[in-house]
Amino acid sequence: MKQLFNIGARRLALATLAASAFGTGAQAATITISCGSVGQDFEFCKKFTSEWARKTGHEVKLFTIPNSTTDILALFRQMFAAKSTDLDIVNVDVVWPGVIKDHLLDLKPYTKGIEKEHFPAIVANNTVDGKLLAMPWFTDAGVLYYRKDLVEKYGAKPPTTWEELATTAKTIQDGERAAGNKDFQGFVFQAKAYEGLSCGAVEWIHSYKGGNVVNDKGEITINNPGAVKALKTAASWIGTIAPQGVLNYAEEEARGVFQNGNAAFMRNWPYAWSLGNGADSKVKDRIGVSALPRGGVDGQNAATLGGWQLAVSKYSKNAEAAASLVLYMTSPEVQKERAIKGSYNPTIVSLYKDKEVLAANPFFGSLFEVFTSAVPRPATATGAKYPEVSSAFWNATHDVLSGKATAEDSLRKLEARLKQVKRNQW
């Protein structure tokens, strides 16, 4: 009896609180959000969502998701198919708007035009049939991390071509192993069979002027000499400057090796900068960041465009409160703090002139062009079929890297497979 009374009293107190925070009629809502689980994603999510909850009187629940984007998409697609109301806010990879468009709410009625402050290309990417399906949250581009101290110790320079990278990585690897670190690796990157490998392969192929798998007109372009050269080059790293294990590395595995002081070079996204300079990092203050190398002297620099957005599920029962949280999470204040403390690249153009943001992440300034001219994966051209295209592409790449197929054979087969996926149109 006493317990019942207590619960009743607590309800009453909460109801009074909610009434004062929401005025008459409005109710406190519980919003469930998924925010990622790579690096510091979860910690930041907790911090900023609870700030919003404190300010608004709403409640927030965090929803744990896998760390591979490929697995996250599979999970969300299952939930959407079931019209699940379990998730109000979903994080959306830059390559997904065309894939999950039918399940996201148009945010235009809520934004009051604030999206104009963000990179127009990202806003365009998130706009399908005139609907703004997701607010840009952070952008990403592949960069090259290197050990400044070791490059200097071996009298080398940060490499500007993949060929130079291979030579320098081998010199440093041989030297460090001879000096006693048997686990030392020249180069670590993501070569597991998942979306991250598609990102890396787009970079290699583009850098050798081998195009973008499917061009803007929707034509399948992957079977070409530049692409063959790129995949052969990448395959030559496995077991020489990169451990066999990279064939199973995603972002976090590569970061673990580099941050432990066991690699000279690493391909990763900007989030690794802040963690690499964290108090517990063995390479704190010894990291340089540059553009990824060109494919030979005639090649070009290429970084794949990545990044995440926040969107409201169409099946949410609390669309208005969910949209308010999305706007808070993507606001200049939150993007600024995430940039300074977590090296997440803002999507708000003016933050690239912010002194504190640049002081925390000098490469946001020096590599500004890398971020603004990053190469998109062929997601727009292939629309809802992008996941199939990408998985065919990463599998074909993985076969070459693991020595199961030659680059020529694998790309010929991939071309045929993509024709099947396309049939008459994407």
- The residue (of 97 and 296) whose beta carbon lies closer to ligand GLC is 97
CA angle (423, 381, 344) in 5-degree steps: 140
Closest to ligand GLC by CB, 162 or 271: 271
CB of 271 vs ligand GLC, minimal distance in Å:
8
269 contributes a contact to ligand GLC by CB under 6 A: yes
x/- mask, ligand GLC, residues 34-73, rule CB under 6 A, reads: -----------------------------------x----
Nearest by Cα to 42 from 197, 300, 302, 271: 271
Joined tokens for residue 145: 């991390």
x/- contact string, 371-410, with ligand GLC (CB under 6 A)? ----------------------------------------
Helices (H), 108-161: 108-111, 120-125, 148-153
| Residue at shortest CB range from ligand GLC | 306
Site for ligand GLC in 92-111 (CB under 6 A): 93-95
CB of residue 196 vs ligand GLC: minimum separation in angstroms? Answer: 3
Measured distance CA(159)–CA(237) in Å, rounded? 15
List 226, 306, 342, 387, residue binding ligand GLC (CB under 6 A): 306
Binding of residue 293 to ligand GLC (CB under 6 A): no
CB of 348 to ligand GLC, least distance (A): 17
Binding segment toward ligand GLC, per CB under 6 A, in 23-31, 88-96, 149-157, 275-283: 88-96
**Residue among 195 and 203 whose Cβ is closer to ligand GLC:** 195
Q: Is 32 an interacting residue with respect to ligand GLC (CB under 6 A)?
A: no
CA distances from 120 to 130, 215, 216 (A): 14, 21, 18
* Number of residues located near ligand GLC, criterion CB under 6 A: 13
Q: Which of 117, 195, 203, 354 binds ligand GLC (CB under 6 A)?
A: 195
- Please name the amino acid found at residue 295: G
Residues numbered 212 to 251 that lie near ligand GLC (CB under 6 A) are 251
Instruction: Return the number of the residue (32 or 125) whose C-beta is nearest ligand GLC.
Output: 125
The answer to whether 361 and 273 have CB atoms below 8 angstroms apart is yes
The two tokens of residue 48 are 């900023």
What are the tokens at 348? 């708000």
φ, ψ at 171 (rounded to 5°): -60, -50
Complex with ligand GLC: residue 193 or 231, whichever CB lies closer: 193
- Cβ nearer to ligand GLC, comparing 118 with 229: 118
The burial of 179, by beta-carbon neighbours within 10 Å (0-12 exposed, 13-18 middle, 19 or more buried), is given as exposed
Q: Which is nearer to ligand GLC, 94 or 263 (CB)?
A: 94
Q: Which residue has the tokens 């700030």?
A: 51
Task: Name the region of 141 (left: φ>0; alpha: ψ -120 to 50; beta: rest).
Answer: beta
d(CA 335, CA 346): 6
- DSSP string for 173-219: HHHHHHTT-TT-EEEE---SSSHHHHHHHHHHHHHTT---SB-TTS-
Q: Which helix (H) or strand (E) holds 139?
A: strand 135-141
Nearer Cβ to ligand GLC (88/195): 195
Neighbouring residues of 396: CB distance < 8 A, sequence distance ≥ 6: 405, 410, 411, 413, 414, 417
Looking at residues 125 to 144 of the shown chain, list those that interact with ligand GLC (rule: CB under 6 A): 140
Binding mask 152-191 for ligand GLC (x = CB under 6 A): ----------------------------------------
Q: Is the CB of 186 or the CB of 306 nearer to ligand GLC?
A: 306
Q: By the criterion CB under 6 A, which residues form the site for ligand GLC?
A: 69, 93-95, 140, 195-196, 199, 251, 269, 306-308
